[in-house]
Structure 1
Amino acid sequence: MKKNMGNTDKLVRVIIAVIIAALYFTNTITGTLGIVLLVLAGVFVLTSVISFCPLYAPFGLSTCKRA
């Protein structure tokens, strides 16, 4: 897997994941929507850790800075 996520992209995803988790654990979002958003937050964190977004690959997108 070639990295296709830059630092800003990773930071934004982690911030969004933290916000979703905080809203879920404070019972602001509940039920099926809460679970779906929590799973999405987990995907955001996972893709940030590995620096690869599978949705970017088919479209040839990359937010990495070119050297």
Structure 2
Amino acid sequence: MKTNVGSIDRLIRLLLASALFYLGLFPYSGTGLGIGLVVAGGVLLVTGLVGFCGLYSLLGIQTSQPNEQL
């Protein structure tokens, strides 16, 4: 699996994931919106840590530079 998410994109995903986790676990805890926010945060967290986004792959988007790929 090639990396298709660049370093700046990964940082943004991780920051956004932490914000969504906070919102889903504290202000909207126990609601459908809270569960949705936690799930969305989880997806962003995984794609940010792994460096691969399946949607980017389907759409042919690549934000990583050739020297960033593993």
Identical pairs, percent? 35
CA deviation after TM superposition for structure 1 residue 25, in Å: 2.6
Question: Considering only aligned residues, what root-mean-square deviation do their CA atoms show, in Å?
Answer: 1.2
| Cα shift readout 1:9-67 (whole Å, capped 9, x = no counterpart) | 111011011111112232x2240111011011011111111110000011110000234
- Work out the number of aligned pairs and report it: 66
CA deviation after TM superposition for structure 1 residue 6, in Å: 0.4
Q: Matches of residues 1-67 of structure 1 in structure 2 within 5 Å?
A: 1-26=1-26, 28-30=27-29, 31-67=31-67
Higher helix content, 1 or 2: 2
Q: List 4+ stretches of structure 1 deviating above 2 A.
A: none
Mapped to 1, the partners of 2:34 and 2:42 lie a distance apart of: 12
Consecutive unaligned residues of structure 2, counting only runs of 5 or more, are: none
Q: With the length of structure 2 as denominator, give the TM-score of the two structures.
A: 0.84
SS, match of residue 13 in structure 1: helix
